[in-house]
Amino acid sequence: MGHKIGDSVAYVRYSGGESKQMERPLVREAAWTIHVNGQELVTLYCTPDKLNFLVLGFLAAEGIIESLDDVLLLQVCEDQEGVIDVSLDGRPLPPPGRPILLSGCGRGITFEDLSSMHPKIDSSLEVPARQISRLMRDLRHEAEIHQSVGGTHSSALSDGTALLVTAEDVGRHNTLDKIRGECLFRGIPTRDRLLLTTGRVSSEMVAKAAKMEVPIVASRSTPTDLAFKLAREWDMTVVGYVRGDKMNVYSRPDRVTVR
């Protein structure tokens, strides 16, 4: 786990009117610049873990690739720390639209105008509330970096019974890109699945889930008002404040059953 955790730093801990010199490592955050066909595309701030999946997921989310067949080479450059080179199958790189800086920590970015329409999510998936609670507990137990030093968000893709893919990162949106990239690499379908996350459900999180054709997004935190509006427009279920056996279902509550 060494590459995910930074060097130890000294700090002063105040407790009960007393102070004490302490030392503890912090979670790593690093800038990685993606070059596609020799052209600099974007710099992502992330936890340097599962970088290959992060890049695949980001490129898929932005519509630059559709499958692994589009990628000839993906190389994390060891001799140029912070650089990832991607070679595509000869297609011209589409020009991005107006960049939109996202609200999530880690300085996420998307080239998509979130006001544009996505198709509605057509899914008959139903998940019992007790299963969502159990899966959220499982996700928290899988969060190795957070348990060690804190400072990360965790997300997971589930079939409603078990966690299929998990990811941790300083950025919430990065965790979804890592999940999508790993699913693309391993051939795991994302359609009709459940996404769980420990972080706030913002508009870009709902948009990334919609692109994965995921009908249910559940979080330990809250959705934003724009996330709620988008979820309602795209016929998605958003669940917030999943803590213990309690949760709030903000849209399409019929997908969360009590049984």
Instruction: Please write the tens of the pLDDT for every residue from 153-176.
Output: 999 999 999 999 999 999 999 999
Q: Is the pLDDT of residue 2 over 60?
A: no
pLDDT average, residue stretch 62-83: 87
105 flagged as catalytic: yes
pLDDT at 103: 38
Domains 30-110 and 127-257 share a fold: no
Q: Give the residue among 81, 38, 77, 74 at the shortest CA–CA distance from 59.
A: 74
Cα–Cα distance, 193 to 215 (Å, whole number): 7
pLDDT more than 70, % of the chain: 83
**pLDDT at residue number 9:** 84
| Residue 243 or residue 106, greater confidence | 243
pLDDT at 192 over 90: yes
Residue 89 has a pLDDT of 83
**What does the buried/exposed string (b/e) look like for 7-41 if buried means 16 or more CB atoms within 10 Å of the residue's CB?**
eeeeeeeeeeeeeeeeeeeebbbeebebbbeeeeb
Residue 99 CB-density burial (10 A; 0-12 exposed, 13-18 middle, 19+ buried):
exposed
Burial class (CB in 10 A: 0-12, 13-18, 19+), 100: middle
Look at the block and give the residue holding tokens 């993906």.
Answer: 74
Calculate Rg over the CA atoms of the chain.
Answer: 19
Encoded amino acid at 140, one letter? R
The domain defined by 127-257 carries CATH number 3.40.140.10: yes
Q: How much is the pLDDT for 152?
A: 84
pLDDT of residue 5: 73
Picking from 237, 251, 247, the residue whose alpha carbon sits closest to that of residue 209 is: 237
17 CB contacts (<8 Å, ≥6 apart)? none
Instruction: Please list the helix, strand and coil fractions of the chain in percent, rounded to the nearest 5, in that order.
Output: 30, 35, 35
CATH architecture of the domain 30-110 equals Roll (3.10)
At residue 112 the predicted structure's pLDDT band, cuts being 50, 70 and 90, is: low
Q: How far is CA 86 from CA 15, 65, 75, in A?
A: 49, 11, 6
- Asked which of 15-24, 112-121, 165-174 is least confident by mean pLDDT, the reply is 112-121
Q: Where are the domains of the chain?
A: 30-110, 127-257
Residue 100 has pLDDT above 50, yes or no: no
Look-up of token digits 């000869």: 90
